[in-house]
Amino acid sequence: MASKGNDKRIDYVEFNVTDIAASKAFYGSAFGWTFTDYGPEYCEFGDGRLTGGFTTLGPVRSGGPLVIIYADQIEDAQRRVEAAGGKIVKPIFTFPGGRRFHFADPDGYELAVWSAQ
């Protein structure tokens, strides 16, 4: 996912979906995206430039996909988010591939920050 030079940039977009197979069929047919399955509840997609994921682990949100920002130092990113007025809605947690946290911006939009470290 991340490479050197991506600090503080949008790195990943995650869609909560009801049916991963249907989402793969739609985006594969409509846009030619490719897919890597990580079990029955998660699939990564690639559009040739950006990667993202389809997951059934959360409710489908009418507000859209989860935008994920990469940070070289996740603890520092969390401090900056809080200092800027963001609210942490999911503290730092680990997942296969790294760690991440979720926050709400001042308007209530939920985003996430992840780090490979």
Q: How many residues does the chain have?
A: 117
pLDDT surpasses 80 at 108: yes
Residue 27 located in a structural domain: yes
Tens of pLDDT along 61-100? 777 788 899 999 999 999 999 998 899 999 999 998 899 9
Residue 72: give the domain boundaries. Answer: 12-116
Residue 7 located in a structural domain: no
Tens of pLDDT along 8-51? 888 899 999 999 999 999 899 888 899 999 999 999 999 888 89
Residue 59 located in a structural domain: yes
Residue 3 located in a structural domain: no
Secondary structure in 3-state letters for 18-53: CCHHHHHHHHHHHHCCEEEECCCCEEEEECCCCEEE
Q: How many domains would you assign to the chain?
A: 1
| 1 confidence band (pLDDT: 50, 70, 90) | low
CATH code at position 54:
3.10.180.10
